[in-house]
Chains A and B, each alone.
Chain A
């Protein structure tokens, strides 16, 4: 497998990167990405990124949490170890609401956090971008576009020219070590 290569271009403002990403998208590129210090409003539209699927993952976790919570209490207090307390029924669903609720929230939160990491392919500690000293300001005040060599339209010369044309500064080619 060929080594992953990336062409990276730098931009100064949110407006610049939104415009440039739109141009890259209309030029037919798909395996490219934007790197910004905060989520830039409108950039997802320009890049035509699909809506996140995270909600479904969370829903599944929430349902699992509710089932687990209620099922656990039903089994433990209703079936396996019955305690007669104040004449209350063994399976007292009203009293089982708080724990069911807590477990629903707990599992949903796991789904929201670990599902997000899963969809993003994180943690990934080794990435050509991270190794590059010039890229460090993506978490500070600069905005970057990166085009991956796996994109069918990727061409070291032409893509570089395009990135420069749409306003990218300090265009650089990075290679996975």
Chain B
């Protein structure tokens, strides 16, 4: 029985200049892509990474302590008081769920639109989505106060013979966000299988070979498997597209189906979805700028990729600005005095500072991206992406708190002030987010290796000769075209 010999270095096939836009810069072959991405998980962790992990894990520890105290003492430790019975807890939930929209949007909708540039950023964005959804799910979990009662949310048979009320938007939320988290995890994992197999095949230690071997499920790159795999990916993209649009729609129902002026608005679903995409893309830009810098991914995640992200930020930010304006118009046009008052109070009342922070961050700041120079400037986009997420947090705060703090009767007016515990839990959730993110960067391929290879010019069987014959399966053809 003969063995395959130890293989020599791959012959470098230098591609001639591709006629279409180049998604991968520099003269890289397939092996370079494998090397660039896998190497990050194989080398010794950098000092910066270790310090970041210690910091993030400490913040997470603080978060855990705060949650323990919350469970011990009850939600009275927050600044909640009549009439504001819902404030930072739900603001944080909507904030994180919104951020968690970018990943699946990039993976699913851009996939269906054949936007090949997504291959460099989708893995990263999907991971971010999962971690943001994990942070989001914590807040409704802990804001019930009595955590051991959280099973009331699920339709479980119980000793009281009771079932949950399916006509409540809060229960829709449980199902929508739960489904979204699960489907995003599956989508992410399916995308990871071939890349984990790459790490398995490069493993130098027994532990890595075992761990990645188990996770890759015995993937052997079979073409007969790829057919089903690509179909699975296409179907997941297809069903995730309405899902990702539905999640923030249903989150907005929490407010829109109520009768509170300022919440009871039909524009909420599209407005929330646009805001979610806006904040999610901003978070992807924040993290991507850092990661490509630290890990030398500039040829895979190019300025062109970031510029496209910034265009979407400009678009969705402007959509959100339109929604802010339209809310005011409808408040005036409705002729309803409570509705009018809610909006005048929102912009000029005691929370005017929050309202104008929101307008500045969300509507004015993205307008810089009309200029190509700013869209392609790393410092500008990094700063703006953070500003956008500050603005989006304020948007949820403004919607939630300003609508509640002045009830219908002036005798029940109030002003919400956060306590140290509100602040601790908000900051603490970043600890969870960054801990998970840092672990992901070190242990899993942060860029979709097999997908990036598939969009390189060398991936086409017609590469190098101009025959133009033959059409493959529609999916493979469209991917490689």
Residues on A lying within 8 angstroms of B by beta carbon are: 8, 10, 12-15, 18, 21, 33-45, 47, 49, 51-52, 54-55, 58, 62, 72-73, 76-77, 80-81, 83, 85, 88, 92, 95-96, 98-99, 101-103, 105-106, 108-110, 112-113, 115-117, 119-120, 122-127, 129-130, 132-142, 144, 170-175
Q: Which B309-335 residues sit within 8 Å CB-CB of chain A?
A: none
Whether B218 and A109, one on each chain, are in contact in the complex, defined by CB atoms closer than 8 angstroms, is: no
Choose one: B167, B179, B221, B476; the contact of A138 (CB below 8 Å).
B221
Whether A125 and B218, one on each chain, are in contact in the complex, defined by CB atoms closer than 8 angstroms, is: yes
Choose one: A54, A112, A125, A139; the contact of B198 (CB below 8 Å).
A139
Can you list 29 A-B contacts (CB < 8 A)?
A: A14-B458, A15-B462, A38-B454, A39-B226, A39-B227, A40-B480, A42-B471, A42-B472, A43-B223, A43-B461, A44-B227, A44-B476, A45-B470, A47-B223, A73-B166, A85-B165, A96-B166, A98-B246, A98-B250, A102-B176, A106-B182, A113-B186, A119-B228, A138-B201, A139-B219, A140-B34, A140-B202, A172-B1, A173-B2
Contacts of A103 in B (CB 8 A): 175, 179
Contacts of A33 in B (CB 8 A): 222-224
Interface of B is mostly: helix
User: Closest CB of chain B to A55's CB: distance in Å?
Assistant: 7
Q: Does B253 contact A (CB under 8 A)?
A: yes
Contacts of B1 in A (CB 8 A): 172-175
Choose one: A37, A76, A102, A112; the contact of B232 (CB below 8 Å).
A112
Contacts of A77 in B (CB 8 A): 163, 165-167
Whether B223 and A35, one on each chain, are in contact in the complex, defined by CB atoms closer than 8 angstroms, is: yes
In the complex, identify which listed stretch (B7-15, B82-90, B126-134, B349-357) lies at the interface while the others stay far away. Answer: B7-15
Contacts of B464 in A (CB 8 A): 15
- Indicate with 1 or 0, residue by residue over B159-174, a CB within 8 angstroms of chain A CB atoms: 0011111110101100
Q: Does B29 contact A (CB under 8 A)?
A: yes
Whether B201 and A49, one on each chain, are in contact in the complex, defined by CB atoms closer than 8 angstroms, is: no
Whether A39 and B183, one on each chain, are in contact in the complex, defined by CB atoms closer than 8 angstroms, is: no
Closest residue to A88 on the B side, CB-wise? B167
User: Closest CB of chain A to B361's CB: distance in Å?
Assistant: 31
Q: Does B372 contact A (CB under 8 A)?
A: no
Closest residue to A42 on the B side, CB-wise? B472
- Indicate with 1 or 0, residue by residue over B228-263, a CB within 8 angstroms of chain A CB atoms: 111110011001101100100010010000000000
Whether B223 and A44, one on each chain, are in contact in the complex, defined by CB atoms closer than 8 angstroms, is: yes
Contacts of A137 in B (CB 8 A): 7, 201
With A120-B225, A120-B228 already in contact, the answer to whether A76 and B458 are too (CB < 8 A) is no
With A42-B476, A125-B213 already in contact, the answer to whether A136 and B165 are too (CB < 8 A) is no
With A52-B231, A54-B235, A141-B10 already in contact, the answer to whether A34 and B222 are too (CB < 8 A) is yes
**Could you tell me how many residues of chain B have their Cβ less than 8 Å away from some Cβ of chain A?**
91
Whether A170 and B7, one on each chain, are in contact in the complex, defined by CB atoms closer than 8 angstroms, is: yes
User: Closest CB of chain A to B260's CB: distance in Å?
Assistant: 15
User: Closest CB of chain B to A115's CB: distance in Å?
Assistant: 7
With A39-B454, A136-B201 already in contact, the answer to whether A49 and B175 are too (CB < 8 A) is no
Q: Does B459 contact A (CB under 8 A)?
A: yes
User: Closest CB of chain B to A173's CB: distance in Å?
Assistant: 5
Closest residue to A132 on the B side, CB-wise? B4
User: Closest CB of chain A to B118's CB: distance in Å?
Assistant: 15
Whether B451 and A76, one on each chain, are in contact in the complex, defined by CB atoms closer than 8 angstroms, is: no
Whether B3 and A102, one on each chain, are in contact in the complex, defined by CB atoms closer than 8 angstroms, is: no
Whether B239 and A112, one on each chain, are in contact in the complex, defined by CB atoms closer than 8 angstroms, is: yes
| Most chain B CB atoms below 10 A, which of A62, A137, A144 | A137
User: Closest CB of chain A to B476's CB: distance in Å?
Assistant: 4
A129 and B197 alpha carbons, distance in the complex (Å) = 13
Closest residue to B469 on the A side, CB-wise? A42
A80 and B470 alpha carbons, distance in the complex (Å) = 60
Closest residue to A75 on the B side, CB-wise? B163
Q: Does B150 contact A (CB under 8 A)?
A: no
Whether A105 and B179, one on each chain, are in contact in the complex, defined by CB atoms closer than 8 angstroms, is: yes
Whether B34 and A44, one on each chain, are in contact in the complex, defined by CB atoms closer than 8 angstroms, is: no
A21-B223, A38-B194 known; 17 other A-B pairs, CB under 8 Å?
A18-B461, A36-B221, A37-B30, A44-B472, A52-B231, A55-B235, A80-B163, A109-B239, A112-B236, A116-B231, A117-B217, A124-B218, A125-B214, A125-B217, A132-B4, A133-B4, A140-B202
Whether B34 and A106, one on each chain, are in contact in the complex, defined by CB atoms closer than 8 angstroms, is: no
User: Closest CB of chain A to B178's CB: distance in Å?
Assistant: 8
Whether B460 and A99, one on each chain, are in contact in the complex, defined by CB atoms closer than 8 angstroms, is: no
Contacts of A141 in B (CB 8 A): 10, 29-31, 34
With A14-B459, A39-B476, A43-B472 already in contact, the answer to whether A122 and B225 are too (CB < 8 A) is yes
Whether A116 and B228, one on each chain, are in contact in the complex, defined by CB atoms closer than 8 angstroms, is: yes
Contacts of B163 in A (CB 8 A): 76-77, 80-81
User: Closest CB of chain B to A53's CB: distance in Å?
Assistant: 8
User: Which 9 pairs show the lowest CB-CB distances between chains A and B?
Assistant: A134-B4, A141-B30, A116-B232, A41-B480, A123-B217, A76-B163, A98-B172, A52-B231, A136-B201
Contacts of A13 in B (CB 8 A): 13, 458, 461, 463
Whether B231 and A54, one on each chain, are in contact in the complex, defined by CB atoms closer than 8 angstroms, is: yes
A14 and B463 alpha carbons, distance in the complex (Å) = 9
User: Closest CB of chain B to A85's CB: distance in Å?
Assistant: 6
Q: Does B477 contact A (CB under 8 A)?
A: yes
Contacts of A92 in B (CB 8 A): 167
Whether B223 and A142, one on each chain, are in contact in the complex, defined by CB atoms closer than 8 angstroms, is: no
